[in-house]
Amino acid sequence: MATRIRPSSKRCAVIGGSGFLGRHLVEKLLDRGYSVAVFDIRQSYEVPGVTFHQGDLCDQQALLPALKDVSLVFHCASPAPASDDRALFERVNIQGTQTVIKACIEARVQKLVLTSSASVVFEGTDIKNGREDLPYAKKPIDYYTQTKIVQEKLVLEACDKQKGFLTVAIRPHGIFGPRDPQLVPILVDTARRGKMKFIIGDGSNLVDFTFVENVVHGHILAAEHLRTDSPICGKPYHITNDEPIRFWDFMSEVLVGLGYAAPRYHLPYALVYGLALLLWLLSLILRPLVSFKPTFTPMRVALAGTHHYYSCERAKEDMGYKPVVSLKEGIERTVKSYPHLRHGA
């Protein structure tokens, strides 16, 4: 009879390991002596110590080789929120996550750490110091968020101490840092098109922006604390920089750091939100004839004009979380990492 090799606790897989967060996670895992298998729909880099498995996470047979002899899996793959493609979100975030769970169980993986999102409780209205016991959004702001809610529930409900399959969900918010493909590039593109002159609302709304290395730190702490006797089993955890900042101050610091002017003129929130909604509806109606993607979608306007910051006390108490990089240093390192996006470059 063939003997099964006992999975090593230092052997893990990162689903979505070619993406922004995934790659930072892989780099830190390697530093900490893990050997890593990456599973992703694309391969974006090559590093010693990492084996790449290219495939769609909705395909269980494609996933299994990446999970062989692995005891710990991080699932941080998702279609980009900006794709606004309902069918794709449902296929990847819901059916795909069910497939990931089944594949983990079949491969006898012991721990699954999901990258969820703090937005699972956000409905477009103020959240101040939100804790994890807030109810899931009844009216999520977009299809992405709607499917992240179902995904998180699936993973947390799959936690089964008797069967030795432990799960936890990390809820980051507004991740930024070197190689981020959305926040800074979209911001700079909007500024280059002359559309970053306006502040939506009075500009006093506080938001969490979380440096990517803190998000990575939260994931690794969760993985290392995930044991049968731990309070973290089957629970969600906010991971933030613990330094809420005015949304428009953060945008201004990044813009000014890259040589662009900070937004100055105020516009009423209700007016901009109404216009964004109108444009979004128009883009849906006209989709068969012309395709255009408005920059200021209702989702972005809601994120830009409301308070949404979260308490990470639970992560501090249950897993000793503390941000490892301050917001100031995170912004400086991020700005430096984008020489090609500087004004005039």
Ligand X SMILES: CC(C)=CCC[C@@H](C)[C@H]1CC[C@H]2C3=C(CC[C@]12C)[C@@]1(C)CCC(=O)C[C@@H]1CC3
Active site (catalytic) residues: 144
**Window of 131-139, 169-177, 194-202, 279-287 that interacts with ligand NDP by CB under 6 A:** 169-177
Q: Is residue 224 exposed (0-12), middle (13-18) or buried (19+ Cβ within 10 Å)? A: middle
37 is an interface residue for ligand NDP by CB under 6 A: no
Distance (Å, rounded) from C-alpha 143 to C-alpha 84? 7
Q: What does 64 interact with, of ligand X, ligand NDP, none (CB < 5 to 8 A by kind)?
A: none
- With 0-12 / 13-18 / 19 or more C-beta atoms within 10 angstroms meaning exposed / middle / buried, residue 119 is buried
Residue 20 binds which entry of ligand X, ligand NDP, none, CB below 5-8 Å type-dependent: ligand NDP
Please state the closest distance from residue 131 (CB atom) to ligand X, in A.
18
Burial 314-330 (b: 16+ CB within 10 A, else e): bbeebbebebebebeeb
User: Which of ligand X, ligand NDP, none interacts with 300 (beta carbon under 5 to 8 A by kind)?
Assistant: ligand X
Residues 293-332 that bind ligand X (CB under 6 A): 295, 300, 303-304
Single-letter amino acid code for the residue at 25: L
Q: CB under 8 Å to 102, separation ≥6 — which residues? A: 60
The single residue among 57, 101, 109, 200 that binds ligand NDP, judged by CB under 6 A, is 57
Quick one: 62 or 279, whose CB is closer to ligand NDP? Answer: 62
Instruction: Compare residues 118 and 258 and give the one whose CB is closer to ligand NDP.
Output: 118
Of the pair 20, 143, the CB lying nearest ligand NDP is at 20
Q: Nearest approach, Cβ of 53 to ligand X (angstroms)? A: 25
- In angstroms and rounded to an integer, the radius of gyration of the C-alpha atoms of the chain is 20
Question: What's the chain's length in residues?
Answer: 345
Contact call for residue 252 and ligand X (CB under 6 A): no
231 interacts with ligand NDP by CB under 6 A: no
Query: What is the distance between the alpha carbons of residues 67 and 69, in angstroms, rounded to a whole number?
Result: 6
Residue 125 in the binding site for ligand X (CB under 6 A): no
H-run or E-run covering 210: strand 210-211
| Position closest to ligand X via CB | 117
Decide if 238 contacts 310 (C-beta within 8 A): yes
- Residues within window 67-106 making contact with ligand NDP, judged by CB under 6 A: 76-80, 92, 96
Alpha-carbon torsion 55, 58, 62, 67, what sign? Answer: positive
DSSP-assigned states of every residue in 231-270: TTTT-EEEE--S--EEHHHHHHHHHHHTTPPPP-EEE-HH
Nearest to 140 by CA among 89, 196, 76: 89
12 in contact with ligand NDP (CB under 6 A): no
Stretch 283-302 residues interacting with ligand NDP (CB under 6 A): none
Question: From the CB of residue 285, how many other CB atoms can be counted at a distance below 10 Å?
Answer: 9
- x/- mask, ligand X, residues 176-215, rule CB under 6 A, reads ------xx--xx--x-------------------------
Interaction partner, residue 297 (ligand X, ligand NDP, none; CB < 5-8 Å by kind): none
Which residues lie near ligand NDP (CB under 6 A)?
A: 16, 18-22, 40-42, 56-58, 76-80, 92, 96, 115, 117, 148, 172-175, 181
Which residues of the chain form contacts with ligand X (CB under 6 A)?
81, 117, 119, 174, 182-183, 186-187, 190, 295, 300, 303-304
